[in-house]
Structures are given as C-alpha cells and as structure tokens.
Structure 1
Amino acid sequence: MAIELRRATDRQLDFARDLTRRAMLPYYREFDLLWIEEAFNEAWGWREQWLVVEGDTLMGYFSLSQDRQALFIRELHLLPEYRGRGVGSWVLEALARWTQERQLPLLRLMVFKSNPARELYVRQGFVVMGDDGCFVRMQRVIAG
C-alpha cells in the first residue's frame, strides 16, 4: 500500500462532512443525539484536517487537535470500501509516530460505546480511560 496523508483544504469540507455524517448517523440515532452541520463546519476551521489517499484515490480523512499532553483524534473515517483492509491500522500507527515527533506522551480519542472500531483501537494499544455516557474515552501511551 502506498498510503499518504495530505493536508485537507476547504475544498474537501463537503467530502469530510458527508463521510462523517454517513458513518456517525447510526450512532447519533442510537443515542438520540442531534447531528448539527454547522458544528462540523465550525470545527473544520480550528482543527487539523488530513486526507488519507493512495495515489489519486481519496480513501478517507481524519481531524486532529492537541494540547500540551496529547494529540487528539477528533474524527477518523474511511470510505466503506477501505475498511477492514489495514488502512485504519496504518493511519493509527502514523499518528502514533506524529505524537512522538511532537514530543507528546499520549494519543487520545473518543468513540461511541457501540462502535466496532473500538476493537481496532484496542489492537492498536489504546486503553479505556473513562466513560462519558454514550462515549468511551481511550488513549495510547507513546514511548518517548
């Protein structure tokens, strides 16, 4: 696989929002949450936005923020045809390297309790740190 991570621009906002909505709507319904387009659009402006690509093929995207302790994965979504093929694991390993390069000790995320991606995160070394209602907070300690 020749996967690359490229900075997203505002031209990919519609793609990212639509992919996120399609992936997350079942969980929003399950937990009786309201999807708000404007909230996604606003977060687009202050988070780091990245594309997952192979050549000219757009496979997905992810969104990051950070503080003094951790790099936070705010969104990580792949198009359905790229799920279960090792792409997510590759992205998570790349993000672990980025966390180390940024000299941060933790890589963190939140995931819906019922999302099967939790299994991927556990395989990638994430541990559950807490429960926030419909979400589970997870983190991976990054060796310095």
Structure 2
Amino acid sequence: MISFQPTVDLLSSAEVTFDNMRSYYEHYAVDWELPNIHVQISGLENWDILYKGLVIGAFRLSFDSEDCYLRDFQVSAQYQNKGIGAVTLAQIERIANEECCKQLRLRVFKISPAHSLYKRSGFVVDKEEERFYYMSRSLT
C-alpha cells in the first residue's frame, strides 16, 4: 500500500511542505513562502510517499561523507497517525544504508509532534536550541 518514488513534480511536493509547515512558520513568524521552499528543495534528493498510488507526502535527503540528513519529511494531515511515518523512516534508513552512512540526522521543531515519532524510532536529541531539536540515530 505504501510505496516510494523519486519526486515527479517538485513544485507540488513543495506545496505539501508549505501546507504542512504553515502553522510552524506562523508560530515562529518565519517569512517563508512556497518559492523559497521550491528553491531550497531543488538541491536535495527528493522522494514522494505514495499510498495506494496517490502522492500523500515527501521526504528529502542530503548526504556527506559519513551521514544522511533528513532535511524534510512531510505526510499530508489526513494520512498522519496511520503508521506511514514509521514505514517511511524504515525506507529512509534503507537508502542511508545503501549509501554506507553511519548516522541518520535531522532537525525538528520542538513544537512538532514528529519528534515523538523520531524518539520511538530510536533517535536521540544531540542538541537543542530555542526552536529545534537536533536528533540522530546510528545506522547498522
């Protein structure tokens, strides 16, 4: 039921991020518009999350010589809390392992409920700032 593919429509994918993140941007008074997101994600490895063939989210990765960075992870609101996040994190781990990465790293807003998913999935908080948790998990 859940599958993944390299992103087909980058602008539509950016819209999913914009829609999901709008409340966080408003909460923190961040002036971040759709064109900014589109430019930001264009340099990343972008993947669509599909449920029964319908694009319902996206994740974006970048890599350095040792680590994989989860730069963005979005699931449309009506599909959240259905186990899709955990399945997607397993896929992200597979990709990171294929790239021989040692760790998976991410940054998440402190007010985001996603940090609970990351904790359940074995991520630990390495550092925190006013707005963010920086989290990581060792890969096998």
Residue 94 of structure 2 aligns with an amino acid whose one-letter code is R
Amino acid at match of 1:133: E
Matched residue SS, 2:42: helix
Counting matched residue pairs gives 140
* Structure 1 runs not aligned, ≥5 long: none
Q: How far does the alpha carbon of each residue in 1:80-138 deviate from its partner, in whole angstroms, 9 at most, with x for none?
A: 12110100000001111221221111011110011011100000011001113311111
Question: Is 1:119 aligned to residue 116 of structure 2?
Answer: yes
CA RMSD of aligned residues (A): 1.3
Q: Which moved more, 1:129-138 or 1:102-111?
A: 129-138
Whether 1:107 aligns to 2:104 is: yes
Range with bigger deviation, 88-97 or 50-59: 50-59
Percent identity over paired residues: 28
Q: 1:54 aligns with which of 44, 51, 54?
A: 51
- Tell me the CA shift for residue 8 of structure 1: 0.8
> 4+ runs of 1 displaced by more than 6 Å?
none
Q: Normalization by structure 1: what TM-score?
A: 0.90
Counterpart of 1:19 in 2: which secondary structure? helix
Partner residue of 2:3?
A: 4
User: What SS does structure 2 have at the residue aligned with 1:46?
Assistant: coil
Q: How does 1:1-144 map to 2 (within 5 A)?
A: 2-9=1-8, 12-143=9-140
State the AA in 2 paired with 1:54.
Answer: Y
Q: Which runs of 5+ in 2 are unaligned?
A: none
